[in-house]
């Protein structure tokens, strides 16, 4: 716990809407450096503004703390949580000054106080080269929850892929989709019901089915405002693997994504131990960008 002297060195308060440009620039400057990188953000001010305004389910005015030293922004920490999953994602700490450890403790102590009852897990994540985050996580009892390779696909690589167009998810397959997703990705940040509810003009699920049975699916999204996109999940029934279903779904998603002229790049994260998936993505034109590491802690309230 930070002592009173440390508290007197910094002023902290919740984010205000007027802080958005400054905070976005601050996060972008740090997140572009591997030794400071936090997994939840992009690397440019535009990407971070979009994330804070459009992708956060908890308004940043209620979930982001800023710290200043001599009037200058010195640290940021954020929070996202899902009561249904019982999980909180602590987005940071991002700190620009040498007194990293003390300011990190101060921000962490205050952000944890915002987390509501019913949250059983806390999660941190960042580049494996972010040693300060690694040490901070260990100090607070977090355990490593796994590494994921962040892969990217550039628009120019699309010309090397075949033209494949699988079907969009229909309501008749919704129950199977939700069940398959929850079976393949238990406890992930979106369950099957939540994914289905997200489907709209910029969030799509494409499927392969035979005789009314769902064999596999892909969930993809685009953010035309910032020219970015992603593929969050590809799932194939275990008894249907090695038939090329995953590749067909991946290529379908890529063609849909790049139908948006604003999109320049697609990114996705895959468990580094899932060698089959890594091989699929790299053989399709994805390139390695960085390795992300997650850290997870059972909250004190979980007993």
Written as tens digits, the pLDDT of the chain (303 aa) is 565 556 678 999 999 999 999 999 999 999 999 999 999 888 899 999 999 998 899 999 999 999 999 999 999 999 999 998 899 999 999 999 999 999 999 999 999 999 999 999 999 999 999 999 999 999 999 999 999 999 999 999 999 999 888 999 999 999 999 999 999 999 888 899 999 999 999 999 999 999 999 999 999 999 898 888 999 999 999 999 989 999 999 999 999 999 999 998 999 999 999 998 899 999 999 999 999 999 999 865 544
DSSP letters of 152-215?
EEEGGGGGGS----PEEP-GGGHHHHHHHHHHHSTT-SS-HHHHHHH-BTTEEEEEEEETTEEE
Is 146 within a domain?
no
Is 286 within a domain?
yes
Is 145 within a domain?
no
Q: What are phi and psi of 256, to 5 degrees?
A: -65, -45
Is 136 within a domain?
yes
Given 77, 111, 140, the domain boundary residue is 140
What pLDDT is recorded for position 226? 86
What is d(CA 127, CA 129) in angstroms, rounded to the nearest whole number? Answer: 5
What pLDDT is recorded for position 143? 97
Same domain, yes or no: 156 and 285 = yes
What is d(CA 97, CA 281) in angstroms, rounded to the nearest whole number? Answer: 38
Is 295 within a domain?
no
Q: What are phi and psi of 128, to 5 degrees?
A: -65, -20
What is d(CA 200, CA 219) in angstroms, rounded to the nearest whole number? Answer: 11
What pLDDT is recorded for position 303? 46
Closest C-alpha among 33, 188, 187, 40 to residue 125: 40
How far is residue 151 from each of residues 228, 266, 288, measured CA to CA in Å? 13, 8, 5
Same domain, yes or no: 173 and 103 = no
Given 140, 160, 192, the domain boundary residue is 140
Same domain, yes or no: 160 and 103 = no
What pLDDT is recorded for position 214? 97
Is 302 within a domain?
no
Is 301 within a domain?
no
Number of domains in the chain: 2
Task: Provide the CA 177 distance to its chain's centre, in angstroms.
Answer: 22
Omega cis (within 30) before 65: no
What is d(CA 169, CA 249) in angstroms, rounded to the nearest whole number? Answer: 12
* Nearest-10 Cα torsion for 256, 260, 262, 266: -10
Q: Which structural domain, as residue segments, surrounds residue 166?
A: 152-290
The CATH number of residue 161's host domain is 3.40.630.30
């Amino acid at each position: 716990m930070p002592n009173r002297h440390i508290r007197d060195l910094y002023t902290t308060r919740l984010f205000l809407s007027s802080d958005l440009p400054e905070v976005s620039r601050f996060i972008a400057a740090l997140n572009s450096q591997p030794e400071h990188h936090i997994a939840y953000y992009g690397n440019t001010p535009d990407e971070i503004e979009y994330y804070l305004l459009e992708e956060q389910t908890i308004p940043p005015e209620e979930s982001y703390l800023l710290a200043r030293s001599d009037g200058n922004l010195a640290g940021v920490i954020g929070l996202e949580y899902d009561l249904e999953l019982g999980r909180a994602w602590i987005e940071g700490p991002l700190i620009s000054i040498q007194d990293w450890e003390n300011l990190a403790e101060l921000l962490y102590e205050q952000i944890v106080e915002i987390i509501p009852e019913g949250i059983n897990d806390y999660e941190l994540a960042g580049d494996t080269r972010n040693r300060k985050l690694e040490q901070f996580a260990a100090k607070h009892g977090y355990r490593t929850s796994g590494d994921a390779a962040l892969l990217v696909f550039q628009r120019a690589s699309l010309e090397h892929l075949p033209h494949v167009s699988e079907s969009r998810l229909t309501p008749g397959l919704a129950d199977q989709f939700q069940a398959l997703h929850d079976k393949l990705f238990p406890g992930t940040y979106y369950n099957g019901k939540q994914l289905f509810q997200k489907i709209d003009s910029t969030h799509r699920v494409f499927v392969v089915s035979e005789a009314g049975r769902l064999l596999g699916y892909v969930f993809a999204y685009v953010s035309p405002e910032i020219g970015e996109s992603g593929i969050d999940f590809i799932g194939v029934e275990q008894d249907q693997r090695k038939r090329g279903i995953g590749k067909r779904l991946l290529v379908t998603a890529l063609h849909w994504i790049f139908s948006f002229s604003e999109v320049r790049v697609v990114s996705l994260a895959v468990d580094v131990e899932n060698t089959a998936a890594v091989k699929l993505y790299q053989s399709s034109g994805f390139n390695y960008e960085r390795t992300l590491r997650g850290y997870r802690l059972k909250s004190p309230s979980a007993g």
